[in-house]
Chains A and B, each alone.
Chain A
């Protein structure tokens, strides 16, 4: 709600600036931008979609010491699914007979730059680029990603921030950033509902498995009653919930980075961050309570069938007993699994330099979570790049991310990117990634054909194969697709 109000306020402010003061704005404001239109064939959904994005960038200088930048984004797309509510009041995704066109209007960036002798300030909604790695940057603490974008890894979402950089002698710079409002990874409303449903399924599965594991650990005599984790999972009705992050003082995120450039043949940055993960995780503490209640119910079930009058009866399966209204259970089958954005302190290191004929980098971020239920984790990249004299640009990178929970797999991903100017003005890019844990891979080809100085015909093809249900990063990166479109820069 707050975001919508802020967005409306910012857009209104921008439009007032443009419309009400044309003499001032048009005379001193640079207007530039990009228009992109794409037709996308989604092979998995077997659907043809289209997407038009207009970015209108307004820049106004206030002398040499300050300038204002506004980036208004208009996104028009076609939707063929909608959210409806079923008899139980749960949201469900419904296919529409006829697709409808939607228009989103957003202020992607809106910031003021102010320069003093040794200090640069950037105030407002902005993209903060920390990290030297290729696309996946462990020290990119502040910007969420836009999972609606054609290329979600590369699509950083602006955040409202106060950003100050002090330039010290000896090529040292110190950057401090405060972001008052939390922003999670972005997706469209319908995708959020899909995520909630996925959360519920995932949480339900994990809960069923946890109960089963604990029953097994208890080695109860009566545990040989054809109960398996799926039975338990089926007996649960799980609601997933997401703990929203409120706009409170304690939820302000902040970070500091010290960079030393030209230190021998490397640039080195050390950083620290205090804030929340952008990707939610299952709240195991609450979840444990739910499991404990179910275990208690199981104890009562055993007691009922091993003592007293019921002991002589043919014992009911635990799941049947549990679902039977006449049962004496303590736990409700209606369970709620909560997901949250965990609070963490992160320490980072980023080194980029020259190594023989190659460029190389190492970027690390170590997260220490406030809550004991989450294990401290390391996120790291190591990579090399080289630009050959024939114009080929080659990147190889390895990415590692540890899980926050026992149930959350580590992520190990190898990626290779080739980029080459061909036929004089045109460009072809090939990216492939392989994720070890889930045995998933993705290959993507992009081709940019320059029609004029400012008009490019773009087309691409993505093929991915997700090896296991928990596909990790690649599972979130969209489906097999072919797209083609035009980009106009002005």
Chain B
């Protein structure tokens, strides 16, 4: 009888202790995304990538591109993406400016020779033939998902938090996403995006993490279109964090100057 009592007491103690541990670590969706943002909370980022476009037939096209990103006070955020190679897309540039709850996007195509404003309706469209949409690009540089998604924790295990992220902007092409955030480094290692029929559409995968100064960075980012069997893969060539980036870079004047 004494032996049974001891076992019950031990089990209860274990249950209560594990419950108290888990409640201490339980985070809301916003808090998880806060942690995600903190891992990437550089004031400026300058990155160069090699991009591979994979067709469903297995053909590959390559691009080289550079991304500049800068966080300002409040919700101010600026990003510029420039294609460097091959010759057919060289000079193509994209500027994203978020300021005082207003987001403006500009595209520069060398063949047209001038900067063109992109309407919000186009933000769900493919960015120059890649699997990334303009909306995806706005979270690619800084990992700031909170501006575009409302998170809810749906599951938690020892290794990761699983969040449902619902778009806050009606121009976003996704119905919702399922984000897997790794607890060990607070990195979103996998995001599944679903279409309006709630069928899996695209999967974003972050792999090959490396420390770049004080920050962790995925050296391989894949956006796979599950429905069409195509994917776009970004390989990180170089990254500089918290460096000096002139504000003039984030202007239509600079975008046009190529």
Contact = CB atoms under 8 A, between A and B. Distances in A.
Interface of A: 32, 34, 113, 115, 120, 127, 129, 132, 165, 167, 173, 261-262, 265, 267, 352-360, 385-389, 391, 393, 421, 423-425, 450, 452-454, 456, 489-490
17 contacts: A167-B253, A173-B253, A262-B102, A262-B104, A352-B117, A353-B117, A354-B119, A357-B170, A358-B121, A391-B126, A421-B126, A423-B55, A425-B55, A450-B61, A453-B62, A454-B86, A489-B88
A454 B62 CA distance: 10
B122 A389 contact: no
A386 B121 contact: yes
A355 B97 contact: no
Contacts of B252: 261
Query: Which of A167, A389, A450, A454: most chain B Cβ within 10 A?
Result: A389
Given A120-B253, A167-B253, A357 B171 contact: yes
Contacts of A132: 116-117
Contacts of B112: 129
Nearest to B230: A424
A487 B173 CA distance: 33
A387 B129 contact: no
A353 B119 contact: yes
A328 to B, nearest CB: 62
Given A386-B119, A391-B125, 15 more contacts: A32-B90, A113-B257, A115-B257, A261-B117, A261-B252, A353-B119, A354-B119, A354-B120, A357-B120, A358-B121, A388-B124, A421-B129, A425-B129, A453-B88, A454-B87
B168 interface: no
B59 A453 contact: no
B119 A385 contact: yes
Given A355-B119, A424-B230, A425-B61, A456 B125 contact: no
A165 B257 CA distance: 12
A360 B116 CA distance: 12
Contacts of A391: 125-126
A358 B120 CA distance: 7
A109 to B, nearest CB: 10
Interface string B89-123: 01000000100001010000000111011111110
A387 B120 CA distance: 9
Nearest to A67: B257
Contacts, number: 98
Interface of B: 53-57, 59, 61-62, 86-88, 90, 97, 102, 104, 112-114, 116-122, 124-126, 129, 133, 170-171, 173, 230, 251-253, 257
Contacts of A352: 116-117
Query: Which of B57, B86, B88, B104: most chain A Cβ within 10 A?
Result: B88
Given A357-B171, A453-B62, A489-B87, A127 B113 contact: yes
Contact of A129 (B53, B56, B114, B251): B114
Contacts of A360: 119
Nearest to A360: B119
A490 B85 CA distance: 10
A460 to B, nearest CB: 17
A359 B106 CA distance: 12
Contacts of A261: 104, 117, 252
B109 to A, nearest CB: 11
Given A262-B102, A359-B117, A387 B124 contact: yes
A425 B122 contact: no
B51 to A, nearest CB: 11
Contact of B97 (A113, A262, A423): A262
A386 B122 contact: yes
A385 B129 CA distance: 18
A113 B97 CA distance: 26
Given A129-B114, A132-B116, A356-B121, A389 B173 contact: yes
B253 A389 contact: no
A180 B116 CA distance: 28
A359 B88 contact: no
Contacts of A489: 86-88
Given A424-B230, A454-B86, A489-B88, A267 B253 contact: no
Contacts of A120: 253, 257
A236 to B, nearest CB: 46
Nearest to B172: A389
A385 B120 CA distance: 11
Contact of A453 (B86, B118, B122): B86
A456 B88 contact: yes
A267 B107 CA distance: 14
A260 to B, nearest CB: 12
Query: Which of A360, A393, A425: most chain B Cβ within 10 A?
Result: A425
Given A423-B55, A425-B59, A489-B86, A385 B117 contact: no
Nearest to A424: B55
Contacts of B102: 262, 265
Contacts of A456: 88
A171 B184 CA distance: 44
Contacts of B54: 424
Nearest to A115: B257
A316 B143 CA distance: 93
